[in-house]
């Protein structure tokens, strides 16, 4: 078994395992090659009852990075039913304790029914998790436009056309040395092209590397 950096008690570990299992089971039933465009209502209709959670190994890597950079202000663009958010909140709570400072996870989801389900799941995950999360329901171009604080970390787990708008919304609040992680960057290279062009541009302040996780996972540093 691959080593894991996750520090979590047993009920939470099993709960996470079960959530990832449910997500994968759902995903196996999706006809990925026949989906409508990501910004269409038809696409949202198909995805409304789906977890499409970040893969478990990627969630654990994100948690590991958050502990390493001692992140206490964390933003998640694309919350769905809030599986990855649990990892963010766990790291935030542990960092808050270690650093003796407040911490928060700003999560955002545009579908109210998905946001409601996320809140139920966080309640099941426990008060320590729930208390860390500031859930903003609505379009991220509005929900992330203000009151972020100084951001240490941004997770881009969102339909690709929303990735660059999410980064631009958060950029004024990013601290130097902040980390941005974007999912499925190899699988969805075309969709990410505008984000890559922006981040890779001379003098952008960003440095990007693609990690060979399934579908690709990009790690960007704001220097
Ligand atoms: C890939 S899922 C997120 C999965 C989640 N991070 C997890 O691991 O459990 C992306 C989510 O972004 C939401 N979304 C799409 N467009 C959005 C927008 N403009 N503002 C906020 N959320 C949006 C979708 O409804 C969907 O639930």
Model confidence pLDDT, tens digit, residues 73-99:
999 999 999 999 999 999 999 999 999
For residue 208, what pLDDT is reported? 98
Q: What residues line ligand 1, using a CB cutoff of 6 Å? A: 51-54, 78-84, 108-111, 114, 139-140, 157-159, 162
Residue located nearest, by CA, to atom 7 of ligand 1 = 53
* % of the chain exceeding 90 in pLDDT: 96
For residue 39, what pLDDT is reported? 86
Structural domain span for residue 91: 53-222
What does the pLDDT look like over 31-64, one tens digit per residue?
988 999 988 999 999 999 999 999 999 999 999 9
Does residue 85 form part of some domain? yes
For residue 3, what pLDDT is reported? 83
Of 146, 151, 163, nearest in space to 208 by CA = 163
Residue located nearest, by CA, to atom 19 of ligand 1 = 139
Does residue 2 form part of some domain? no
Of 27, 31, 52, nearest in space to 117 by CA = 52
CA of 85 to the centre of ligand 1 (A): 11
**Count of the separate structural domains present in the chain:** 1
What does the radius of gyration of the chain's CA atoms come to, in whole angstroms?
16
What does the pLDDT look like over 183-198, one tens digit per residue?
999 999 999 999 999 9
Does residue 11 form part of some domain? no
What is the CATH number for 152? 3.40.50.150
């Amino acid at each position: 078994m691959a080593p894991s950096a996750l520090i979590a008690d047993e009920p939470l570990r099993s709960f996470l395992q079960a959530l990832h299992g449910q997500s994968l089971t759902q995903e196996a039933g999706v006809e990925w090659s026949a989906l409508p465009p990501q910004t269409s209502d038809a696409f949202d209709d198909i995805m409304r009852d789906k977890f499409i959670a970040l893969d478990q190994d990627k969630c654990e890597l994100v948690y590991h990075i958050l502990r390493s950079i001692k992140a206490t202000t964390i933003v998640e663009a694309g919350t769905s039913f809030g599986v990855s958010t649990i990892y963010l909140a766990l790291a935030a709570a542990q960092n808050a304790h270690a650093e003796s400072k407040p911490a928060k996870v700003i999560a955002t989801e545009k579908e109210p029914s998905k946001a409601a389900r996320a809140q139920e799941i966080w309640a099941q995950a426990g008060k320590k998790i729930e208390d860390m999360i500031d859930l903003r329901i609505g379009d991220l171009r509005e929900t992330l436009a203000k009151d972020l604080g100084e951001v240490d970390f941004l997770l881009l787990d969102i339909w690709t056309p929303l990735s660059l708008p999410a980064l631009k919304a958060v950029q004024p609040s990013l601290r130097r040395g902040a980390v941005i992680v974007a999912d499925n960057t190899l699988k969805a290279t075309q969709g990410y092209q505008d984000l890559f062009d922006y981040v890779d541009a001379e003098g952008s302040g960003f440095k990007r590397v693609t990690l060979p996780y399934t579908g690709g996972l990009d790690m960007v540093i704001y220097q």
